[in-house]
Amino acid sequence: MAEKLLNIALPKGRLGEKVYNMFEKAGFPCPSIREPNRKLIFENPEAGVRYFWVKPSDVAIYVERGAADIGVAGKDILLEYEPDVYELLDLNTGICRMAVAAKADYRDDPSRTLRVATKFSRIAQKYYASQGRDIDIIHLNGSIELAPILGLSDVIVDIVETGATLRENNLVVMEEIVPISARLIANKASYPFRTAQIARLMAEMMAMMEGAK
Ligand code: PRP
């Protein structure tokens, strides 16, 4: 019997395109994905794969609930949502860091509750709890850099990649929390049934990543 297609959730956007290129190079191409249209599902039975584009922060949900067998999610999402999935492989792409940033002239007063604006509330809570610091979380959904500029928060906890967004808004990194990169994740229930397919894919990905070094 032919193997069932492996369902793969990719994060829509810049990271997803890089990651798809990696899958393609590793021997799991799906040429229709490059066609300029707004479709979200693409399959290539010859390569045994079905890809779908998912909002990056939703990849882990698709994988955790088994709508996808595997997927690619940033470590930031895995730390923030703690989905019940297997983390199989660091893909060494989408590399950035989670950091605390503030206005260059910001001076912290440790006796005061720190106002922290972020999309990553759990990461921020855990980080400051480990330091025994009282904080007030201001949960935002984007453009986090605005918060300290407008006095909404003292600092932000956010992703820094090139540092350009911080620089262009006169903010600086105060502390680094954790390095981030894209991870291959798998659904826990389907993994035992898909071990051979997933192991083959991982071996090809690792070989391709070794060759690219
Ligand atoms: C992320 C992050 C920063 C920016 C960092 O934002 O929140 O704003 O990228 O990248 P840089 O260091 O290379 O400038 P994203 O583009 O995901 O949009 P957002 O405003 O929705 O968070």
The reported pLDDT for the residue numbered 150 is: 97
Nearest Cα to 114, choosing from 96, 98, 97, 127? Answer: 127
The reported pLDDT for the residue numbered 3 is: 77
The separation between CA 158 and the C-alpha centre of its own chain, rounded to angstroms, equals 12
pLDDT of 16 > 60? The answer is: yes
Pairing, β 114-118 against β 135-139? parallel
- Please write the tens of the pLDDT for every residue from 36-77: 989 999 999 999 999 999 999 999 999 999 999 999 999 999
What is the number of the ligand 1 atom nearest to the C-alpha of 119?
A: 22
Q: Which string of DSSP letters, residue by residue, matches 84-136? A: S-EEEEE-S-S-EEEEEEEETT----TTSPEEEEES-HHHHHHHHHHTT--EE
Angle value at C-alpha 101, between 95 and 107, nearest 5 degrees: 155
pLDDT of 143 > 80? The answer is: yes
For the stretch 3-22, what's the b/e string if a residue is b when 16 or more beta carbons lie within 10 angstroms of its beta carbon? eebbbbbbbbeebbebbbeb
**Separation of CA 165 and ligand 1 centre (Å):** 7
Nearest Cα to 155, choosing from 112, 186, 193? Answer: 112
**C-alpha–C-alpha distance, residues 123 and 142, integer Å:** 16
Q: What are the φ and ψ backbone dihedral angles of 146, each rounded to 5 degrees?
A: -65, -30
**Separation of CA 85 and ligand 1 centre (Å):** 26
pLDDT of 213 > 70? The answer is: no
- Please write the tens of the pLDDT for every residue from 147-171: 999 999 999 999 999 999 999 999 9
pLDDT band, residue 1 (cuts 50/70/90): low
Pocket-testing residue among 160, 166, 169, 171, ligand 1, by greatest number of atoms within 8 A of Cβ: 160
The reported pLDDT for the residue numbered 211 is: 87
The reported pLDDT for the residue numbered 212 is: 75
β-bridge partners, 139: 118
Angle value at C-alpha 42, between 37 and 44, nearest 5 degrees: 135
Task: Note whether 101 and 171 are within 8 A (CB).
Answer: yes
**C-alpha–C-alpha distance, residues 162 and 93, integer Å:** 14
pLDDT of 85 > 80? The answer is: yes
Q: DSSP assignment, residue 2? A: P
pLDDT of 17 > 70? The answer is: yes
- Please write the tens of the pLDDT for every residue from 160-208: 999 999 999 999 999 999 999 999 999 999 999 999 999 999 999 999 9
- Please write the tens of the pLDDT for every residue from 86-134: 999 999 999 999 999 999 999 999 999 999 999 999 999 999 999 999 9
Instruction: Indicate if ligand 1 lies below 6 Å from the C-beta of 142.
Output: yes
**Separation of CA 160 and ligand 1 centre (Å):** 7
pLDDT band, residue 136 (cuts 50/70/90): very high
Instruction: Indicate if ligand 1 lies below 6 Å from the C-beta of 173.
Output: no
Q: Which helix (H) or strand (E) holds 158?
A: strand 155-160
